[in-house]
Amino acid sequence: MRKIKKIIAIVLLVLILVSALKIQNIRTTYEERVNSYLLNEQGYEKKEIKSIKTKYNFKMPPFYTIVIFEDEPFVKYGYFAHNKDRVGQFEYTLTEEAKKRGIDESKLKHYVPYE
C-alpha cells in the first residue's frame, strides 16, 4: 500500500512539474510574439515599452499578455497571441490612477481597436 501511494505521489509531482513548465513556455512564447509585433509591425522602440507580461487564468482566453507603455504607465493594454500569425490588442484597462488623472478612451495613446 505504501508503494502505491509513493508511485501516485511521484506521478502527481511529475504532472504538476510538466504543467508548470508548459505554462511557463507558453508565457514566454506569447511575450516574445507580442514584443516582436510591437517592435517589428507597430514600429515601437524597445525603450517605449515598460513591461510585457503574460497572464494565465481559467477563463477564456486562458492566456493573454498585458503591455504597459512608458508614456502611459497607468493603462494596461491586453493583447492576444494565440495564433503565431496573428497578434492583436483586444482591450485596455484604466487603473484607478488613470481615472483620477481624467484619462479616458479618447486620451489613450496606444489604443488600437481589434479589427
- Give pLDDT tens digits for 48-70: 999 999 998 777 678 899 999 99
Half-sphere exposure of 75 (CA within 13 A, CB side): 20
Kindly state the average pLDDT of the residues 92-109. 94
Distance CA 88, CA 67 (A): 12
Kindly state the average pLDDT of the residues 30-39. 95
Kindly state the average pLDDT of the residues 79-88. 83
* Sequence letter at residue 94: L
Q: Write down the mean pLDDT value for the chain.
A: 91
Beginning with the edge strand found earlier in the chain, give each strand of the sheet holding 49-56 in spatial order: 49-56, 63-69, 72-83, 86-94
Prediction pTM value: 0.84
Share of the chain above pLDDT 70, in %: 97
Q: Using 50, 70 and 90 to split pLDDT, how confident is the model at 86?
A: confident
pLDDT of the residue at 57:
79
Residues near 37 by Cβ (< 8 Å), separated by ≥ 6?
79, 81, 87, 88
Kindly state the average pLDDT of the residues 81-108. 90
Q: Are strands 63-69 and 86-94 parallel, antiparallel or unpaired?
A: unpaired
pLDDT of the residue at 85:
75
Q: How many helices (H) and strands (E) does the chain have?
A: 2, 4
Q: Which of the residue ranges 56-60, 84-88, 106-110 would you say has the lowest mean pLDDT?
A: 56-60
